[in-house]
Amino acid sequence: MFSPRTIGHARTPYAKTSDIPKGLGAQHNAEGVLEILPELEPGLTDIEGFSHLIVLWVFDRSEGFDLLGTPPSDNRPHGVFATRSPRRPNPIALTIVELLRRDGPRLHVRGVDMLDGTPLLDIKPYLSNVPPEKLRRGWLAEAEARKKE
């Protein structure tokens, strides 16, 4: 196995977990900055052409994992691999952000949902969508439907 290394840090408006919008209908429109280590800046070459990025980061203030848990968006327990819970066997998180602009090693983005200072693991270009007519969203769609009743 590899040893994870930090490629940079997220600057976000969220100082504590309770600041982050959660649950059904939560909006993630907050702007933030992905500060990449200066020595890795050449790795950002041509990233400006992409409107959206996949950001992998570490749930660095979470410890241990639960195989079953009840997410903020439902009142029923689900398997950890069917949720975005931070308490996972590998505490790796994924966020899709919109790239607003690049300023050297700093990527200004919209859609951050991580705590300020969070260590980043990777950035990848977002390349394609799943065909909408094929997308099913399991318990989350059910919880949304129950909420509307």
Binding site for a copy of itself (CB under 8 A): 1-7, 36, 40, 42-52, 54, 56, 58, 67-68, 77-84, 88-92, 94, 96, 98, 119, 121-127, 129-130, 132, 134-142
Please, which residue, 19 or 66, has the CB nearer to a copy of itself? 66
Give the integer Cα–Cα distance in Å for 116 and 77: 28
Provide CB contacts within 8 A for 53, sequence distance 6+: 47, 96, 97, 99, 107, 109, 123, 124, 125, 126
Please, which residue, 52 or 106, has the CB nearer to a copy of itself? 52
Please, which residue, 16 or 136, has the CB nearer to a copy of itself? 136
To the nearest whole angstrom, how small is the minimum distance from the Cβ of residue 16 to a copy of itself? Answer: 21
To the nearest whole angstrom, how small is the minimum distance from the Cβ of residue 136 to a copy of itself? Answer: 4
To the nearest whole angstrom, how small is the minimum distance from the Cβ of residue 112 to a copy of itself? Answer: 15
Contact predicate 54/121, CB 8 Å: no
Give the integer Cα–Cα distance in Å for 108 and 2: 29
Query: In degrees, to the nearest 5, what angle opens at C-alpha 28 toward C-alphas 23 and 34?
Result: 130
From the list 128, 125, 129, the residue with the least C-alpha distance to 45 is 125
To the nearest whole angstrom, how small is the minimum distance from the Cβ of residue 26 to a copy of itself? Answer: 12
